Structure 1
Amino acid sequence: MTHAAEPAVYDVVVIGAGPVGENVADRARAAGLSAAVVESELIGGECSYWACMPSKALLRGTEALTEARAVSGAAQAVTGEQDVAATLERRNTFTSHWDDSGQAAWVLGAGITLVRGTGRLDGEKTVVVTDADGTETRLTARHAVAVCTGSDAAVPPIEGLREIE
């Protein structure tokens, strides 16, 4: 593990580049502040790549077929089954094949510094980022560190629910 000699200083440091983290950094820039956003995975967060968007992309084809089959005149035109491979490829297109370069370009174009790696708090207004090869970078915030790392769903305490895959 290597350590950066001098910390990089920003007005605002944001941990997490999901929707909330992107907005916090963007609002800071709009107010004339410097901002850095730290992300260990894909910019845009879980919704864009693993949850909301791909789920909706998978469901839409089935929904469209079901709706067409319920309409007299259209139902007769719908033959065969849904093409699973094409449905999965459509999902992959919606997630940009898990490539966040378009969102990274937006972040950089907005004047936000992107730091790839896992961020952790390390004192008042200080974040240490560890990248994939173990190199650590220290970021210091003049005003604030915003922790925007997302959340997990609240699972109700129903017997057997957590065991369902």
Structure 2
Amino acid sequence: MSEHDVIVIGAGPAGEICAARLAAEGLDVALAERELVGGECAFWACMPSKALLRPAELLAEVDRLPGAKEAVTGRLDARAVLARRDEVIHDLDDSIQLPWLEDRSITLVRGQARLDGERRVQVGDQLL
């Protein structure tokens, strides 16, 4: 069993901020994450949806500008937009986040976390 002052469950935006603030106060922090550091927004929600919205926003802006409007012919290619969205979420990798955790001495524990009694958190086979 490894011991920490605080165990934060979930490495999404709220969990990252919580862990960072606690570590900045000198606490020994573990951050448990079952998926990717950065959470749902970065990998499955916000970024993919922005990849879908941005082409339509750009076309709407071009359509509004005199001179630019005439340069655009045709319609939005939905298949290409969806392919770009898939490219954004393909080969998901959170390695860019790891130095941020290391710089703050936050221990990352990968796996599904659950409370396992008073002051105990189970993450996979590991008891914290």
Q: TM-score under structure 1 normalisation?
A: 0.69
1:100 equivalent to 2:89? Answer: no
CA distance in structure 1 between the aligned counterparts of 2:104 and 2:5, rounded to whole angstroms: 15
The two structures, once aligned, show a CA RMSD in angstroms of 2.0
Q: 1:51 to 1:88 in 2, by over 3 A?
A: same
- Unaligned 5+ segments in structure 1 are 1-6, 131-135, 140-165
CA distance in structure 2 between the aligned counterparts of 1:45 and 1:30, rounded to whole angstroms: 21
Q: 1:51 to 1:66 in 2, by over 3 A?
A: same
CA distance in structure 2 between the aligned counterparts of 1:95 and 1:43, rounded to whole angstroms: 14
CA distance in structure 2 between the aligned counterparts of 1:94 and 1:34, rounded to whole angstroms: 34
- What is the match of residue 104 of structure 2? 110
CA distance in structure 2 between the aligned counterparts of 1:94 and 1:30, rounded to whole angstroms: 33
- Give 1 or 2: higher strand fraction: 1
Identity %: 52
Q: 1:97 to 1:59 in 2, by over 3 A?
A: farther
Tell me the number of residue pairs that the alignment of Structure 1 and Structure 2 aligns: 128
Counterpart code for 1:125? R
1:138 equivalent to 2:117? Answer: no
- What is the match of residue 3 of structure 1? none
Q: TM-score under structure 2 normalisation?
A: 0.87
CA distance in structure 1 between the aligned counterparts of 2:120 and 2:46, rounded to whole angstroms: 32
CA distance in structure 2 between the aligned counterparts of 1:102 and 1:86, rounded to whole angstroms: 27
Counterpart code for 2:29? A
1:31 counterpart (25, 31, 46):
25
SS in structure 1 of the partner of residue 3 of structure 2: strand
- What is the match of residue 79 of structure 1? 73
Q: 1:90 to 1:104 in 2, by over 3 A?
A: farther
Listed as ranges, the matches of 1:46-57 within 5 Å are 46-57=40-51
